[in-house]
Amino acid sequence: MNAEWTSMNPTQPPVRRPYQFPVELKGEPSATFAGFYYPAEVKRRGILQVLVHGNSYDHRYWDAGTVNGTSYSYIDYMTIRGFDILAIDLPGVGASSKPNGYAFSLEGVGRALSALIQSLRRTDSVLQQKFDHITSIGHSMGSSIGVFAEGNWPAADSLVVTATGYYRGRTASGWPPGTREKLLETDYALVPPELRLGFYHQPSADPEVIAYDNAVLRTPAPSGLWSDCITLRDDPRNGAADVTCPVYVQLGQYDPIMLGEYAEQERNSYSSASKVFIDTLPEMGHSFNLHLNRELSWEGICGYYD
């Protein structure tokens, strides 16, 4: 089965027909989540990056298109450098199945992510490619899921964590009191545009990108999964201390979720990892890929393999 291009809206990036992967949900025996495969455009490195988006996004966070003549596509950047990409829509999001949003649990989604990565090692995998190295790469809530999955059901060869952290001494999150609790009263929570302004360090962002983000990329998230991830960061069973593969962490200097100033303290969260690399990205907010200086993140991830 080959991925195919669907019809394309000129204001949005092209979207490939998704592969569907199973996820276990109570009362939903046929639930799936989607993955979009982007093959390397030059000589393949044999490295697959499995990309997991954060809250209020789907896989397009990694392939956000062009605004004012500037490309915001992480996927384009990596595929022209020889990486294969599988960008997933978390269960309940985008092209994935959408049962009741309270049916999703972190454990079910984490198991499904690890099972997916394991399946891609088989020679008869759905992608019909051999990979020498598979990296799980997450943003924000997607990073939390990736860490939890790798700590509990190891599957990846390496782990990249962006825009989140576990250091207990961090400042309180940037969410106004009671805001998340109100959003989680419905089974799919949609963060309002005014709150998503906090995803940006605005001196490092194009206002038209912020407007595009809210108009095109903003996506509801299943409340059960988001709720689990909120409590996860302060849970000693969050998985970080049990990850044994190499870990690369990127923190934004002005990210209200996890400030870059805590980089060295964050290193201690991964006490069992074979190697830990931590970078603070200057002048960066939360949604790294949508900032003017986004390539600081991309170059760091590319260089991580060298």
246-296, pLDDT tens digit by residue?
999 999 999 999 999 999 999 999 999 999 999 999 999 999 999 999 999
- Taking each helix axis from N to C end, the angle separating 223-232 and 141-152, rounded to the nearest 10 degrees, works out to 70
The answer to whether the CB of 254 falls within 8 A of the CB of 285 is yes
CA distance 156 to 152: 12
pLDDT of residue 12: 44
Name the CA dihedral angle for 286, 161, 224, 30, rounded to a multiple of 10 degrees.
130
Which residue positions in the chain have pLDDT lower than 70?
1-17, 27
pLDDT of residue 5: 28
The answer to whether the CB of 165 falls within 8 A of the CB of 249 is yes
CA distance 48 to 9: 28
**10 Å Cβ neighbour count for 296?**
18
Strand-pair category, 47-52 with 84-89: parallel
Domains in the chain, please, with CATH? 19-304 (3.40.50.1820)
Q: Is 128 exposed, middle or buried (0-12, 13-18, 19+ CB in 10 A)?
A: exposed
**Of 77, 51, 78, 57, which Cα lies nearest the Cα of 143?**
51
The answer to whether the CB of 51 falls within 8 A of the CB of 217 is no
pLDDT of residue 213: 98
pLDDT of residue 187: 95
